[in-house]
Chain A
């Protein structure tokens, strides 16, 4: 187990290097002048452009730039953006909100998704199963922003149960609906994965044995069936934490939440790559680390899986 974890950690390094290089390359090397529109209608003075290019080392070859990026990232120095505001401070303001939103979304996915999957899997073909299957199909088909706008329009504008936009402090109560919207797609996937594995495992030998031993139905389901059926759903939830963060871009846009997504999006619109690069790199890191953690969790959930 220990050796496996170390090997996986080492394998993470080339993927991380490759991905961050890709991001750096795409952002800094593709044609287009980041300072073209920074001075309003006029062209920027040459002195400004050359000073900026020097400060952000844009005249250096890509590999040198990338090396600076890595060095700064490892020493925890995220630098300043084009307006000379510290990137770290902006991140510190935005992170807590997005983390809160993402955690609530994961909670929705895990609790509602797994519960719906288990219920429909146990009563396969029944009324509840059909209702859940149809609603997950709808959730899978509605793009996240459509769900968002519909709920905003219905609950916020028509019924006035919620405030259509979230206030800057983003208290938990105001984040419930945005978190549900963010979770909707993965929630449907989780429910379906759980249902499929419950249906498959109900026919397995160990469940038959447990029933034959005279165990109560409750114990068979809760102890034997659930533990084995939850693995795919948990894997999925873990691997999707990373994409949840980027999905937050859309959700935060709809409900006007000042989190990482909003920060990233305005940075893209302003062509301020000094924020885009570290934020996307951090998101990728989160994504890869959660994937690793999920893989390591396998063995805890299913002792039959052995690491080599």
Chain B
């Protein structure tokens, strides 16, 4: 095994040693697995149909056979909350993946090429950062969303995913850029270049593996914040819409009934918060373990 490889392994090894002693890491890991299973196999948790509506039971409070009660349309809140996990996980993960791809590629190119490409990409990034997040999403979604008529579930989710990624990439570009710039001047990269390695080999074999840690930490936390962002946009009425089942929509549909039937809103809100918390906690635990300064 080459020396560079062994060095990478020992960093992860170190990190693992610290992580496995942290209680918060295990808690968030268990919660993460729980949410992933919920997203993949919702029928393990509930046998009720989340679409089945019985208007007569509209806004019925929690009871023994419906733990979380019924929503405005008389649908089972528990079933809808369980099924909502899938939407949130998919939107959060795919949007983060898009952010990492867009921002990572831009950051690596900016740092590796330098000069005018770097300034151009940095300025463009600043323009995107110049539009505050919610504002940018409102502008794009407010103008794009009304165009689609009879959208499918995939289309509704796709638009939100793309918007989150398009608005989020500059932050990741900065992280990737500074990580690559730091690594670029290391001796092993100079040595690789002296040995005649091409730009692709240097980027994929040497620069990326060493920039992975900060990107990984940031993306874990980002999945959490994107899940929150999706719910915020859905709440504003410009994110996801029915027929998609999501925590954000459930909260949005019942904000006006906060005085009479808070249960239809509080349960999805609790799941949403717990899910965001899981990703943020996990990301922070890994970051603290990776960062020797904070020990």
Contact = CB atoms under 8 A, between A and B. Distances in A.
Contacts of B280: 137, 140-141
Interface stretch (B48-56, B104-112, B197-205, B261-269): B261-269
Q: Which of A138, A143, A243, A287 has the most CB of B within 10 A?
A: A143
A283 B132 CA distance: 8
Given A250-B235, A265-B138, A149 B123 contact: no
Interface stretch (A27-35, A44-52, A224-232, A297-305): A27-35
Interface string B42-74: 000000000000000000000000000000000
Contacts of B36: none
B147 A149 contact: no
Interface string A143-183: 11110011011000100000010000000000000000000
Contacts of B146: 32, 271
Contact of B131 (A247, A264, A280): A280
Given A142-B276, A243-B133, A153 B127 contact: no
Nearest to A147: B273
A2 interface: no
B143 A283 contact: no
B273 A146 contact: yes
A268 B123 contact: no
Contacts of A273: 143
A253 B123 CA distance: 33
Among A18, A196, A268, A271, the one with the most B-chain Cβ atoms within 10 Å of its Cβ is A268
Nearest to B139: A26
A111 to B, nearest CB: 23
Q: Is the interface of A mostly helix, strand, loop or mixed?
A: helix
B237 A149 contact: no
Interface string B129-147: 0111111001110111011
Interface string B213-236: 000000000001000110110011
Given A243-B133, A249-B138, A32 B143 contact: yes
Contact of B236 (A30, A141, A242, A250): A250
B134 A269 contact: no
Secondary structure dominating the interface of B = helix
B272 interface: yes
A14 B122 CA distance: 12
Interface string B267-279: 0010011001100
B273 A143 contact: yes
Contacts of A164: 258-259
A19 B251 CA distance: 33
B142 to A, nearest CB: 4
B266 A153 contact: yes
A22 interface: yes
A63 interface: no
A249 B139 CA distance: 13
A245 B133 CA distance: 11
A153 B262 contact: yes
A221 interface: no
Contacts of B277: 137-138, 141-142
B255 interface: yes
Contacts of A77: none
Interface in A1-49: 14-16, 18-19, 22-23, 26-27, 30-32
Given A30-B144, A141-B276, A153-B262, A246 B132 contact: yes
Nearest to A248: B134
Nearest to A280: B135
B123 A18 contact: yes
A193 B235 CA distance: 30
Given A142-B273, A153-B258, A276 B147 contact: no
A176 to B, nearest CB: 19
B134 A249 contact: yes
Chain B interface residue number, banded? 35 or more
B161 interface: no
Contact of A15 (B123, B147, B231, B284): B123
A137 B133 contact: no
B228 A143 contact: yes
Given A15-B127, A287-B132, A145 B232 contact: yes
B142 A268 contact: yes
A157 B132 contact: no
A145 B235 contact: yes
Name which of A26, A138, A288 has the most chain B CB atoms within 10 A of its CB. A26
A88 to B, nearest CB: 20
B238 interface: yes
A45 to B, nearest CB: 21
A142 B284 CA distance: 15
A245 B138 CA distance: 14
B131 A146 contact: no
A249 to B, nearest CB: 6
Name the residue in B134, B146, B258 with the highest tally of chain A Cβ atoms < 10 Å from its Cβ.
B134
Given A143-B272, A284-B130, 11 more contacts: A19-B127, A19-B131, A137-B277, A140-B280, A141-B224, A143-B232, A146-B269, A149-B265, A157-B259, A243-B132, A250-B235
Interface of A: 14-16, 18-19, 22-23, 26-27, 30-32, 137-138, 140-146, 149-150, 152-153, 157, 164, 196, 199-200, 242-243, 245-247, 249-250, 253-254, 264-265, 268-269, 271, 273, 276, 280, 283-284, 287-288
**A-B residue pairs, 10 tightest by C-beta:** A141-B277, A246-B132, A143-B228, A268-B142, A246-B135, A243-B132, A18-B127, A19-B130, A141-B276, A246-B134
